[in-house]
Amino acid sequence: MWDHSDQADCLRKTAPVDQLIQLVAEKTGLADKAKEAVDAVPPFTKEKLPAPMAGQIDSLLSGEGAGDRLEKRKDTLEELFEDK
C-alpha cells in the first residue's frame, strides 16, 4: 500500500475524473465498478443544470481549468486575426 505522500503525488498527476474513480474505489472497495459509477454521474448532473454550467462539468472532470479555456480562446482569436 502507498504512503500518503506517494498517493498525493500520483493524484496531482491525474485528471480529476481519474482521482474521483480512485477515491470511489478506495471508499467502497468496489474497484471493478468505480469507473462505471463515476461515469454515470456527469450525464445525470448535466441534465439537471443550466447549459452554461453543464459545460463546466466536462472541463472540471477533464482537468481543464479556466486558464486552459482562456488559452484556447486566445489561440483561436489570434488565428482569426492573423495577417494572411
Q: Using one digit for the tens of pLDDT, what is the confidence trace for 9-50?
A: 544 557 788 888 999 999 999 999 999 999 998 899 889 988
Q: Which residue has the higher pLDDT, 51 or 11?
A: 51
Residue 1 has what pLDDT?
45
Q: What is the residue-averaged pLDDT of the chain?
A: 77
Structural contact between residues 34 and 48, judged by C-beta atoms closer than 8 angstroms: no
Q: CA distances (Å), 66 to each of 46, 48, 57, 60, 62, in order?
A: 18, 22, 12, 9, 12
Percent of the chain scoring above 70 in pLDDT: 74
